[in-house]
Amino acid sequence: MAYLGEPANTIAVLQKYNFNFQKKFGQNFLIDKHVLEKIIRSAEITKDDFVLEIGPGIGTMTQYLCEAAREVCSVEIDRNLIPILEDTLKEYDNVEIKNEDILKVDIKALAEEKNGGKPIKVVANLPYYITTPIIMELFESGTPIESITIMVQKEVADRMQEKPGSKEYGALSLAVQYYAKPEIMAFVPENCFMPRPKVGSAVIKLTRYEKPPVDVKNEKLMFSIIRASFNQRRKTLANGLKNGGGFGLTKEQIEESIEELGYPATVRGEKLSLEEFATLANIIESKKSI
């Protein structure tokens, strides 16, 4: 029976092992069973599922996952947490603990081994400082993923589902929305964690698209254009692309490409939708080959 959602039980485990929080790992452990239950419901975990958990901490959410899923693999970077996890998860025979950096794990091979190459579900309470690299690695690794349900800083969750024209809209919004449908499932106040973070959090679910929602000939080029567009937000899109190396085009060709899209050359990148960035990438790709 999952018991770590109760603050008193979390405190008892931490005291038993004389555990010291590591700031470098961004450790904030959940201590609210209602939030934990909400995450499991949002991720739609069933007994058919293999779940990859990133950053299990002392095993709080892992206990809930083990009770809901067929099998769980929890990847924890802090070796000081491994003896604690072996203790708090000893009642469960459907969990494997890996003491590794998730960015160095071959997730695709793991999905093949544990789930026969079928799409897996990912659940995580991510350290805020490394949220974006982990999400992008999951999407770009080619791993078959059904969904990613994660606890992140509220501001980051907002950015993931932001639309064109807003101050928060940027490269992360476009990257996430290219691969998945983002949906904020819950906002989580600071008092649901130990220690308390200085910012509010949110549970966001990213449901992977079977195929991207836009048609782009060169995905890598599109993301290079997106990055160049937002590297210096105050600059116009044309200047951003020129400063980003020009993508093999002259200044005039860059401006022509933007105008072909239906915008003046003075437009800023934040005005363009994902579909328009895909179209712009296709225009630039065609001009490069002339």
129 in a structural domain: yes
Q: Extract the tokens encoding 47.
A: 């007994």
Is 62 exposed, middle or buried (CB count within 10 Å of its CB: 0-12, 13-18, 19+)? buried
Taking every pair of Cα atoms in the chain, the longest distance, rounded to a whole number of angstroms, is: 69
Same domain? For 145 and 235 the reply is no
Q: Are 105 and 98 in contact (CB under 8 A)?
A: yes
Please report, for the domain that includes residue 80, its CATH number.
3.40.50.150
Q: Which of 1, 76, 64 is nearest to 31 (CA)?
A: 64
Here the tokens at position 84 are 């604690």
Name the strand (E) or helix (H) holding 122: strand 120-125
Range list of β-strands (E), 76-218? 95-98, 120-125, 145-153, 180-188, 193-194, 201-208
pLDDT confidence tier of residue 268, bands split at 50, 70 and 90: very high
Residues 167 and 249 in one domain: no
Q: What is the CATH number of the domain that holds 259?
A: 1.10.8.100
Strand 95-98: give its sheet, edge to edge.
95-98, 71-75, 50-54, 120-125, 145-153, 201-208, 180-188
238 and 147 in a common domain: no
User: Residue 181 — φ and ψ, nearest 5°?
Assistant: -95, 115
Q: Examine the pLDDT at 20 and tell me if it is beyond 80.
A: no
Tokens at 92, concatenated: 């469960």
Asked if the bond preceding 212 is cis, omega within 30° of 0, the reply is: no
- Report helix, strand or coil for 287: helix
pLDDT digits (tens, 9 = 90+) for 35-72: 999 999 999 999 999 999 999 999 999 999 999 999 99
pLDDT at 93 over 90: yes
pLDDT at 1 over 80: no
Instruction: Name the band, by pLDDT with cuts 50, 70 and 90, for residue 290.
Output: low
* pLDDT band at 91; cut points 50, 70, 90: very high
Task: Confirm whether 189 is domain-assigned.
Answer: yes
Predicted local distance difference test score (pLDDT) of residue 68: 96
- Residue 68: give the domain boundaries: 7-208
Rounded Cα distance, 74 and 40, in Å: 15
**Pick from 235, 132, 237: nearest CA to 174:** 132
**Mean pLDDT of the region 84-113:** 95
Within 10 A of 91 (CB to CB), how many other CB atoms are there? 13
Residues 203 and 99 in one domain: yes
CB 183, CB 207: distance < 8 Å: yes
Q: Please tell me whether residues 183 and 161 are part of one structural domain.
A: yes
Same domain, 71 and 144: yes
Same structural domain, 192 and 224? no
Give the residue-averaged pLDDT of 117-136. Answer: 88
d(C-alpha 203, C-alpha 187), whole Å: 6
Q: What percent of the chain shows pLDDT beyond 70?
A: 97
Q: Same structural domain for residues 71 and 204?
A: yes
Q: Could you tell me if residue 201 is inside a domain? A: yes
Q: Kindly tell me if the per-residue pLDDT of 104 is higher than 90.
A: yes
For the cut 70, the answer to whether the pLDDT of residue 23 exceeds it is: no
Average pLDDT, the chain: 91
In a domain, 1, yes or no: no
Please tell me the predicted confidence (pLDDT) of residue 232. 77
pLDDT digits (tens, 9 = 90+) for 275-286: 999 999 999 999
**Is the pTM above the cut of 0.75?**
yes
Q: Looking at residue 181, what is its pLDDT? A: 97
The pLDDT value recorded for residue 201 is 93
DSSP 181: E
In a domain, 214, yes or no: no
